[in-house]
Amino acid sequence: MACTSFVKLNTSASSTVFGQRSFNQRSGSSSTRSSVSRVSVIRAGSYSEELVKTAKTIASPGRGILAIDESNATCGKRLASIGLDNTEANRQAYRQLLLTTPGLGQYISGSILFEETLYQSTTDGKKMVDCLKEQNIVPGIKVDKGLVPLPGSNNESWCQGLDGLASRSAEYYSQGARFAKWRTVVSIPCGPSALAVKEAAWGLARYAAISQDNGLVPIVEPEILLDGDHSIDTTLEVAEKVWSEVFYYLAQNNVLFEGILLKPSMVTPGADHKEKADPETVAKYTLTMLKRRVPPAVPGIMFLSGGQSEMEATLNLHAMNQSPNPWHVSFSYARALQNSVLKAWQGRPENIEAGQKALLTRAKANSLAQLGKYSAEGESEDAKKGMFVKGYTY
């Protein structure tokens, strides 16, 4: 989506820093203090213990998330890259290849599914969710309904899907899902506007509260897009403002922090910036942002790859795990786990084993990166190729 101009994030009307906003409220009348006190109390829900257990299972050492929650249209683009038609049978064959990979559970703790896959079975009649459970992989579900234009903004977007979310979440839980994913985006070339940031944060917080109320651990994902020629310092500034707003509204909605997971973007320069950042710089900036904005109560930080090459995403994750962190710092990759699989499989039954081997290779590499033990020695040229797509949609 084109942007009309670069507008600095305007926070003068209302502070977006969690601590500062709370301090301003506390300095008011006794009724205001009472209101803030009520907002800060987290009510014990019927699923609280299960949510904490699920989050800890997903945030387990050496494991991360395989994201295969692309819409049918986006999955069709993946299949088209290897000459396959976008049919349900072909989508089933591809996702079956991924979810039945022997040994996958050693490196993967959760998998985000599209609704079609949650209700789908393999060609021999086994439910896809059961294939995951057999390997101690937690099934998850994409619950948002996609991005649409945000009126009154600088050509920005907002994420729809809150209507009917409670009933859908309850049904997903009964089908076997135990965590949820909601993706909204923030565009730096578009400002971002204060309106877009507030809308993203509030939508994520409402989704998170509804998910927890229905037994699903919410993955909180305000993706800061790579689009643009901005510096890494600009990305850091915007990321800090976005995450402070997100956690303010999560607290207002009484979300249990111990029962959520985050899916942030890594703090990098814009894709078109003349200077690229090495893994050590990305790690330094990203961890600085997280330590300033994310409470240690959050069990896991599951990074998105955001169009980085397979090797780049793994190297950056490795660099972030060279010293202890307050949280489990891991991965929730889609393209950075699937790209090699598609090239190895090519849609041919005789190549299923090769495709599964490629998936295990990438999953193991990121498992080692989560443990801080990855080496890029022996990586293929394909793994080094970037996958950035301007204005990428799922």
Q: What pTM does this model have? A: 0.86
Query: Does residue 347 lie in a domain region?
Result: yes
Reply yes or no on whether 134 is catalytic: no
Query: Does residue 24 lie in a domain region?
Result: no
Rounded to the nearest 10°, the torsion over CA 277, 189, 162, 183 is -20
- Taking each helix axis from N to C end, the angle separating 232-252 and 18-26, rounded to the nearest 10 degrees, works out to 40
Query: Does residue 25 lie in a domain region?
Result: no
The parts of the chain modelled with pLDDT lower than 50 are 5-37, 387-389, 392, 394
Query: The tokens of 363 are what?
Result: 């999953």
Query: Does residue 379 lie in a domain region?
Result: no
Instruction: Determine the structural domain holding residue 356 and report its residue range.
Output: 47-374
Query: Does residue 380 lie in a domain region?
Result: no
> Could you read off the pLDDT of 120-146 as tens digits, one per residue?
999 999 999 999 999 999 999 999 999
> Quick one: pLDDT at residue 377?
75
Residue 186 parent element (H or E): strand 179-186
> Quick one: pLDDT at residue 309?
86
> Quick one: pLDDT at residue 307?
76
CA-based nearest residue to 283, from 298, 301, 295? 301
Name the domain count of the chain: 1
Reply yes or no on whether 384 is catalytic: no
> Quick one: pLDDT at residue 392?
47
Among residues 70, 142, 263, 312, the one annotated as catalytic is 263
The CATH number assigned to the domain holding 180 equals 3.20.20.70
Query: Does residue 93 lie in a domain region?
Result: yes
Alpha helix segments (H runs only) across 100-193: 115-118, 128-133, 165-175
Query: Does residue 22 lie in a domain region?
Result: no
Among residues 221, 240, 245, 312, the one annotated as catalytic is 221
Percent of the chain with pLDDT over 90: 79
> Quick one: pLDDT at residue 380?
63
Query: Does residue 56 lie in a domain region?
Result: yes
